[in-house]
Each structure stands twice: as C-alpha cells, then as structure tokens.
Amino acid sequence: MARGAKACVFCEIARGAAGASLVLEDEASVAFLDHRPLLPGHCLLIPRIHVETLPELPEELLAPYFRNVQILSRAVERGLGADGSFVAVNTKVSQSVPHLHVHVVPRWKGDGLFSPKLAWKRTPYKDEESRKLVAEKIREAVAEVLGK
C-alpha cells in the first residue's frame, strides 16, 4: 500500500480484520450484509483479491465469482421469502468503495424500490439482533442451495 493510502475496508473484511455479517465465503469471494441496505437482506459479494472494477477481475475468477452471485441470489430469495432479487454492479460511478462488489437485494412485489420517483433510501438495521437474524436466514439458505 502506498504511503498515506487508505486501507480498503473490503479487503479487511475479506481477511477477517474488519467485522461484517458474513453470509457466504469461499476461496474466491466473501458475501456480507450491506450496513446501509436498500432493503433488509441487501448483500454485497466481493472477490477476496483486490480489484477495483469488473473489467479488472482475472478471467479465471469470473466463473467462481458469478457462481457465487447466483447462489447468493437464490439464498436471499429463499431465506427471506422474497419474490425475486435485484443484482447490480457499479463500475467506477457510484462505487463508494473502490473494490469490485455485486449488490444482491431481495425484492418483494410492491416494495417501492423502483418507484416512479426513484430515490433509494439506504437505512441501517434498527438493531444488532435484527441484522443477525437476517444474516442467519441467508446463511442457512446458502447451505440449502449448496446442499449442505
């Protein structure tokens, strides 16, 4: 890291040096609850290696990384009883942490996420217990999706 450079919080989460509500992890990537979710259960999936944008992700990691996006999407829906999910990647613009991450957001009919006056409101979990409960439901569903 360059002198005076700020540490990457997502790299710290991947190394276990920073706390996060983990819901999926393997050798390729780590998924955790977003601390200011669009909707409860909003997760971020990051590669363990530091790359800032999708075009920088090494080709050999594409399949395992996006397999985990697929697993996480299924688990978020199953674990939270969601009607579907919204999956998105920002590249540079709107990327608040310069480390590749895929958003997986549970969706319910009528949730208002894409209303005519779109203004995404990000709201922290009301308390630690509610955050832990959501993370546990997703972790259990990840295990089910993986057949464990």
Q: Is 70 contained in some domain? A: yes
Selected catalytic residue, list 42, 99, 101, 103: 101
Q: What is the pLDDT of residue 3?
A: 45
Q: Is the residue at 3 inside a domain? A: no
- Domain membership of residue 2 (yes or no) is no
The total domain count for the chain is: 1
With respect to residue 53, please indicate whether it lies within any of the assigned structural domains: yes
Give catalytic status of residue 103 as yes or no: no
Q: Per-residue pLDDT tens for 101-131?
A: 999 999 999 887 877 765 667 778 889 999 9
CA distance 49 to 28: 8
User: Which of 82, 86, 92, 84 has the alpha carbon at shortest distance from 51?
Assistant: 92
Asked if 89 and 55 count as a contact pair (C-beta separation under 8 A), the reply is: no
Strands 29-33 and 22-25 turn out to be: antiparallel
- Report yes or no on 4 lying in a domain: no
Range of the domain at 127: 9-145
Residue 112 in any domain: the answer is yes
Distance CA 6, CA 137 (A): 33
CATH number at residue 65: 3.30.428.10
Q: Is residue 27 part of a domain?
A: yes
